[in-house]
Amino acid sequence: MKYLYLLRQAPYQSSLAREALDMVLATAAFDQHVQLLFINDGVFQLQKGQQADLLQQKNIEKTLQAFALYDINDVYCCSHSLQLRGLTTDNIDASAQVIDQAQCQALIQQADKVISL
Amino acid sequence: MPNSQTDKKTLAIMVLSSPHASAHAQTALAYCQSVLDAGHQIYRIFFYHEAAYLGNTANCAPQDEINLSDRWQQLIQKYDIDSVVCIASGLKRGMLDTTEAKRYEKTTASLSPCTELSGLGQWIDAVNQTDQHIIFGN
Q: How many domains does chain A have?
A: 1
Q: Report the alpha-carbon angle B123-B127-B130, nearest 5.
A: 130
| Total of domains in chain B | 1
Its ipTM equals 0.91
Size of interface A-B (CB pairs under 8 A): 39
Residue A7 confidence class, pLDDT cut points 50, 70, 90 = very high
The answer to whether A48 touches A55, Cβ cutoff 8 Å, is no
Q: What is the pLDDT of residues B44-90, one digit of tens each?
A: 999 999 999 999 999 898 999 999 999 999 999 999 999 999 999 99
In a domain, B123, yes or no: yes
Above 70 in pLDDT, residue B129?
yes
Give mean pLDDT, residues A1-11. 96
A113: chain B residues, CB-CB within 8 Å = 127-128, 133
Write b or e for each residue in A55-89: b if 16 or more Cβ atoms lie within 10 A of its Cβ, otherwise e.
eeeeebbebbeebeeeebebbbbbbebbeeeebee
Residue B2 has pLDDT above 70, yes or no: no
Share of chain B above pLDDT 70, in %: 96
User: What amino acid positions of B are annotated as catalytic residues?
Assistant: 86
Å between B63 CA and nearest CA of chain A: 31
CA-closest candidate to residue B12, choices B138, B123, B89? B123
Look over chain B and give the mean of its residue pLDDT values, rounded to a whole number.
Answer: 94
Cβ contacts (< 8 Å) between B128 and chain A: which residues?
1, 32, 113
Look at residue B138 in the predicted model and tell me its pLDDT: 74
Contacts of B119 in chain A (CB under 8 A): 26
For residue A22, give the nearest of B120, B127, B128 by CB distance: B120
Give the range of the structural domain holding residue B43, as residue numbers without chain letter: 10-136
Q: How confident is the model at residue A111, as a pLDDT?
A: 98
Q: Which residues of A fall within a CB distance of 8 Å from B89? A: 19
Q: Which of A9, A19, A113 sits opposite B48 (nearest CB)?
A: A19
> Angle at which helices A16-29 and B121-129 pack, to 10 degrees?
70
Is position B15 within any domain? yes
What is the residue range of A59's domain? 2-116
Chain B residues with CB under 8 Å of a chain A CB are 16, 48-49, 88-89, 119-121, 123-124, 127-128, 133, 135, 138
Q: How far is B80 from chain A (nearest CA, A)?
A: 26
Does residue B4 carry a pLDDT above 80?
no
| Residue A117 near chain B (CB below 8 Å) | yes
B81 with B39: CB under 8 angstroms?
no
- Record: contact B127-A113, CB cut-off 8 A: yes
Partner residue opposite A16 with nearest CB, options B123, B133, B138: B138
Q: Does some domain include residue B78?
A: yes
CATH number of the domain that residue B88 is part of: 3.40.1260.10
Identify whether B21 is part of a domain.
yes
Using CA coordinates, name the residue in chain B closest to A32.
B124
As a whole number, mean pLDDT of residues B111-124 equals 96
Question: Residue B71 domain-assigned?
Answer: yes
CATH number of the structural domain spanning residue A82: 3.40.1260.10
pLDDT score of B88: 96
